[in-house]
């Protein structure tokens, strides 16, 4: 049985990419997320993006449509660095959109102390 996923369409919010969009698979594996987060090896980043970026309407600098990206890591070599980095972040955002909000709230971030805020306490008083 193949992977089950949804596609998330995201508009590219970089200057010069008005009306550009990408369709991203929302089921990123944790190990792939960790690799994308570190961005040490651009060959590997291109391979990962080619697994998760399914479609787009991007054009090259001459205005010609770029080939569809799915399973074609070489296509990402023709993109500016800022766009490749944006795509790496977009893959993460697409995956997080598919996680139920309650699950995300149950997992404290690295910057949180784990203590409830004053708004979360039953009496509304700030804890010291």
Where in the chain are the domains?
7-100
Instruction: Give the pLDDT confidence score for residue 95 in this predicted structure.
Output: 85
- Tens digit of pLDDT for each residue in 90-121? 998 998 886 665 455 555 544 444 444 434 33
Which pLDDT score is estimated for 89?
93
- 42-52 vs 81-97: helix crossing angle, rounded to 10: 50
CA proximity to 9, closest of 113, 128, 93, 121: 93
* Percent of residues, the chain, with pLDDT higher than 70: 73
Mean confidence (pLDDT) of the chain? 80
As a whole number of Å, the end-to-end CA separation of the chain is 53
Please write the tens of the pLDDT for every residue from 52-89. 999 999 998 899 999 999 999 999 999 999 999 999 99
Which own/partner pairs from 56-63 qualify as long-range (CB within 8 Å, at least 24 positions apart)? Answer: 56/20, 56/21, 56/22, 56/23, 57/19, 57/20, 57/21, 58/17, 58/20, 58/22, 58/83
- State the Cα–Cα distance between residues 49 and 85, nearest whole angstrom: 10
More confident residue, 3 or 124: 3
């Amino acid at each position: 049985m193949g992977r089950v996923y949804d596609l998330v369409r995201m508009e590219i919010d970089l200057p010069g990419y008005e009306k550009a969009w990408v369709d991203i698979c929302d089921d990123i594996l944790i190990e792939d997320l960790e690799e994308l987060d570190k961005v040490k090896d651009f060959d590997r980043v291109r391979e990962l993006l080619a697994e998760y970026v399914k479609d787009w309407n991007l054009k090259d600098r001459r205005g010609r449509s770029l080939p569809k990206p799915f399973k074609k890591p070489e296509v990402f070599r023709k993109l500016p660095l800022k766009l490749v980095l944006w795509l790496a972040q977009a893959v993460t955002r697409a995956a997080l959109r598919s996680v139920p909000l309650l699950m995300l709230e149950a997992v404290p971030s690295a910057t949180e102390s784990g203590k409830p805020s004053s708004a979360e306490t039953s009496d509304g008083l700030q804890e010291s």
